[in-house]
Chain A
Amino acid sequence: MISLKDETILLVDDNIINLMIAERVLQSEGARVIKVSGGMEAIDALNQDSSITLVLLDLEMPDPDGYTTAQLIRNSGELFANVEIVALSAAEDEGSKVRAANAGISHFLHKPIKTAALLALLAQETSTLSNSGDHFVQKSAFYNLDYIKMASGEDPDSMKILANIILEESPVLFNEALESLKYGDGKNTASILHKLKGQLGIFSMTEATHIISGIENQCIGTDIDAKIIESQIMRLRDDVYPAFEEIKELIVNN
């Protein structure tokens, strides 16, 4: 049985009542809780306390909203790579979920927070991580075919064509990004990676797209470390390719 004992959880919500309710629920399960009321404070809290493993994030906050806050956390490279972000939202629509996934949010919980739902989610996370020797590799290969199904109007032939485009173009983009890096052209490399991120987003490869965002940021810096960036791109490619094979088997060869 999973418990929240010894977990440090960061609660981010601009509504003080919601913060108090969530704090009470989480503390009763033994968690240590840190409360903040905005996105920028959340980043500060993460910087100050490395024991935070989970962020419960309200999406409907004033600037920066929850989506932007999640992106800020994910764009901090590998610094907060192991922090799980769970969105708390009243929104029910698929668009909000897609947007949340795209912003780097791992899971979506409905408000008001229910302990059972949170515990179930943590149990799922823990079993995933325990199978993995390497967090980066394991999680970046995750994909989900719900979006491509929707985008292709649930038509199997259209889905095959769409999947084929991505499966053929993404390896080209990986190669182009590595090639561009050889010439030290960080801006162009970032632009190619941005395109690649769009492609992987269609397979909902959320973790991979976060990693690309982090690499993109490194590419547009003034003093880029091509060797490190190259190894990150190659590592990501090695992770993503087996997932491509599975997707090919599921969609194209079926």
Chain B
Amino acid sequence: MDKKKPSLLLIDDEAAIGMIVRIQFEKDYELTMMTNGLNGMKWISAGNIPDIIVLDLNMPEMNGLDFLKEVRKLNYFKNTPMIVLSGEDSSAKRIEVFQNGADDFINKPFNPIELRVRMERFLKYK
């Protein structure tokens, strides 16, 4: 019997990033894609529970930082791994992201193999 695929919620308003994630991960993950934090929150609030969340920072409606804060307020999502993809790399930005509840940080343009390995590292302990 097939093992159930882990579910991945991607929140990014860049269609190209969505496409890369689709190309690279569709086979092994149950993918859900949202284009901003607000839609991500709505999806979660509707009772959906992803195994892992990958998100951008710079988005309309609700940006990545606000999404991180909101999600971490929810008891059920205290331990859900969240990986931030960001085009802005500085130690100040990484600190801000980690202080707001992210578990990991990857620069854009990201190497899909690196994202896969980092996601698998979190999913191994779930």
Contacts and interface: CB of A to CB of B under 8 A. Distances in A.
Contact of B16 (A64, A98, A162, A197): A162
Interface residues on A, range: 20 to 34
Interface in B71-110: 87-91, 107-110
Contacts of A171: none
Interface in A139-183: 147, 150-153, 155, 158, 161-162, 165-166, 169
Contacts of B58: 191, 194-195
Given A71-B89, A151-B109, A198 B16 contact: yes
A64 B91 contact: yes
Contacts of A73: none
Contacts of B13: 195
A38 interface: no
B53 to A, nearest CB: 19
Interface stretch (B1-9, B18-26, B39-47): B18-26
Interface string A188-202: 000100110111011
Contacts of B61: none
A30 B38 CA distance: 59
Contact of A165 (B16, B87, B89, B109): B16
B91 A68 contact: yes
A103 interface: yes
A199 B107 contact: no
Contacts of B15: 165, 169
Contacts, number: 72
B17 interface: yes
A63 B91 contact: yes
Contact of B14 (A63, A102, A191, A198): A198
A108 interface: no
Contacts of A161: 19
Contacts of B113: 95
Nearest to B22: A158
Contact of B107 (A94, A102, A155, A195): A102
Interface of B: 13-17, 19-20, 23-24, 58, 87-91, 107-114
Q: Which 6 A-B pairs have the closest CB atoms?
A: A95-B111, A201-B109, A151-B20, A158-B23, A165-B16, A165-B15
24 contacts: A67-B89, A71-B89, A71-B90, A95-B114, A98-B110, A102-B89, A102-B108, A151-B23, A151-B24, A152-B23, A153-B23, A162-B19, A165-B15, A165-B16, A166-B16, A169-B15, A191-B58, A195-B13, A195-B14, A198-B17, A198-B87, A199-B16, A201-B87, A201-B109
Given A165-B15, A199-B14, 14 more contacts: A68-B89, A68-B90, A68-B91, A98-B109, A99-B89, A102-B109, A153-B23, A153-B24, A162-B16, A162-B20, A194-B58, A195-B14, A198-B108, A198-B109
